Chain A
Amino acid sequence: EDQVTQSPEALRLQEGESSSLNCSYTVSGLRGLFWYRQDPGKGPEFLFTLYSAGEEKEKERLKATLTKKESFLHITAPKPEDSATYLCAAYFSGAGSYQLTFGKGTKLSVIP
């Protein structure tokens, strides 16, 4: 069964302390890997889409990378406003392009 696993479940960082979140997947034909940010009581907010191994995308303090087995979300010099749950999702060739499989998320807390 296609699965998406995120680690760690929770991460506490001091402001300015860089780190990475992991998303590993077991699939039979990855078509796209997504990263979302979700604030409490809100819907997922789209951050990045990655389509092929070796691809990288950046937005402010965030950089997403993709290999054949996993994706990383690198956070450089985080600020308290980066605190949120970060979700990883994938869609696979077998399921068609309309069904995303989500991980459980990583809850990031950035302490001032």
Chain B
Amino acid sequence: NAGVMQNPRHLVRRRGQEARLRCSPMKGHSHVYWYRQLPEEGLKFMVYLQKENIIDESGMPKERFSAEFPKEGPSILRIQQVVRGDSAAYFCASASSGNAAEAFFGQGTRLTVV
């Protein structure tokens, strides 16, 4: 899974600031999934994107969270006006198709809201 690159690895934000998390998929992969792992919880699906399209955002909070995967560049998960409860590890996975069985995970971004 070293091929899926996430940055930054660690991010500290004060309450009310914006957090931008980046995910560069493996070469040849055009499908990206974002998951959130809260302390002592399992990974929870947030959003699934293909290039320039959001396919399923059913796991994403309705407010403050957004995701994009432009034609060029990495996928971005954006959290506006962060709160302490947003502190978590955010993982990106990529695949060459929409089949979850083929997805590889990145190392994650650990967001801490102070």
Chain A residues engaging chain B, CB cutoff 8 angstroms: 4, 32, 34, 36, 41-46, 49, 87, 89, 91, 96-105
Q: Which residues of B contact A99 (CB under 8 A)?
A: 33, 45, 48, 56, 58-59, 100
Chain B residues engaging chain A, CB cutoff 8 angstroms: 1, 4, 31, 33, 35, 40-45, 48, 55-56, 58-59, 91, 98-101, 103-108, 110
Q: Which residues of B contact A32 (CB under 8 A)?
A: 100-101
The contact of A42 among B58, B103, B107, by CB within 8 Å, is: B107
B108 touches A43 (CB 8 A): yes
The answer to whether residues A102 and B44 also contact, given A45-B1, A46-B1 and a CB cut-off of 8 A, is yes
* Number of A-B residue pairs with CB-CB distance less than 8 Å in the complex they form: 69
| Closest CB in chain B relative to A89 CB, distance in Å | 8
Q: Which of B58, B59, B100, B101 has the most CB of A within 10 A?
A: B100
The contact of B48 among A42, A98, A101, by CB within 8 Å, is: A98
Q: Which residues of B contact A49 (CB under 8 A)?
A: 101
The contact of B107 among A34, A43, A96, by CB within 8 Å, is: A43
Q: Which residues of B contact A105 (CB under 8 A)?
A: 42
The contact of A98 among B43, B55, B104, by CB within 8 Å, is: B55
| Closest CB in chain A relative to B53 CB, distance in Å | 12
B98 touches A98 (CB 8 A): yes
B43 touches A44 (CB 8 A): yes
A102 touches B43 (CB 8 A): yes
B106 touches A43 (CB 8 A): yes
The answer to whether residues A102 and B100 also contact, given A43-B105, A43-B108, A45-B1 and a CB cut-off of 8 A, is no
The answer to whether residues A98 and B100 also contact, given A42-B107, A43-B107 and a CB cut-off of 8 A, is yes
Q: Which residues of A contact B33 (CB under 8 A)?
A: 98-100
Q: Which residues of A contact B58 (CB under 8 A)?
A: 99
A101 to B100, CA, bound (A): 11
